[in-house]
Amino acid sequence: MRFQYKRWIIDATPDIFEGKFQARARVAPGNLADDIQPDLIDETDLGCFAREALAVEHAINWAIAWIDSLEAQPVVGR
């Protein structure tokens, strides 16, 4: 469940734990067409959901909010 958002790759594939879907967001700068593995943010504590679609949606929303807040921060030194 990987997709491109702005200049970031988001992988919102949930983990399965005790019959529930654990929302998880892996966020890395880059392009889906690239074969390189850049450093990534791996946020695993996003909550448990009974349905996979809810876990994926929650992880995507978290990742988009994280990216948007990161990109809204002023760049120091410019």
For CA atoms 7, 42, 57, 16, the dihedral sign is: positive
Question: Cα(40)–Cα(24) distance, rounded to whole angstroms?
Answer: 13
Q: How far is residue 42 from each of residues 9, 35, 62, 78, measured CA to CA in Å?
A: 12, 19, 12, 29
pLDDT digits (tens, 9 = 90+) for 33-70: 666 655 788 999 899 999 999 999 999 999 999 999 98
Q: What's the pLDDT at 72?
A: 80
Q: Can you give the pLDDT at residue 20? A: 97
d(C-alpha 66, C-alpha 26), whole Å: 11
- With 80 as the cut, is the pLDDT of residue 77 above it? no
> Per residue in 4-28, pLDDT tens?
999 899 999 999 989 999 999 999 9
β-pair type (8-11, 25-29):
antiparallel
